[in-house]
Amino acid sequence: MKQFYRAAEPRLAFPIIWFDDAKRQAAGVSFARVVASLRYTVWACAVLNNHAHLCVRRHRDDPAMIWRALAEEAGTSLRRFADVSDDHPFWSNRPYKVYLKTSHDVKRVVAYVEQNPPKERIPAQSWSFVSTYDGWPYAQRASR
């Protein structure tokens, strides 16, 4: 019996935008502006080929608000590139967030984020807005 296959319909409404060094830098600079203005503490950040990972300390703003602020600022910067249309989304509408409950979890995630650039064959990244993890809040509890 002969089978016929229908061509797959495209699943994405927009083409994937790959982040080159200039786009990664623009996203990182945008993240830095948000971190400074809203006083977030970021323990790790990696802007990769088509996504980003951040480890952000708990804050008065909820995680969705934090990600929205970071994503909107970076999206504005990235839309300045000639190959990006004004309506192209950069980030998922469903960011992946994980609540870390122990110092060990935070250290594990920071290491994971830091190890991502080499996995994607891009240089290790160092961002001025990233702080070294200080054990918060676990170190403060132990000292009481």
Angle at which helices 63-78 and 21-38 cross, to 10°? 140
Average pLDDT over residues 124-139: 90
For CA atoms 76, 109, 141, 143, give the dihedral sign.
Answer: negative
CA distances from 29 to 6, 87, 100 (A): 44, 21, 26
Q: Looking at residue 43, what is its pLDDT? A: 97
Report the predicted TM-score, pTM, of the whole model to 2 decimal places. 0.84
Confidence of residue 129 (pLDDT cuts 50, 70, 90): very high
Average pLDDT, the chain: 87
Helix (H) or strand (E) holding 52: strand 52-56
Report d(CA 49, CA 66) in Å as an integer: 22
Residue range 16-70, pLDDT digits in tens: 889 999 999 999 999 999 999 999 999 999 999 999 999 999 999 999 899 999 9
- Domain ranges (residues) in the chain: 21-138
Would you say 43 and 56 are in contact if contact means Cβ atoms under 8 Å apart?
yes
Residue range 71-80, pLDDT digits in tens: 999 999 998 8
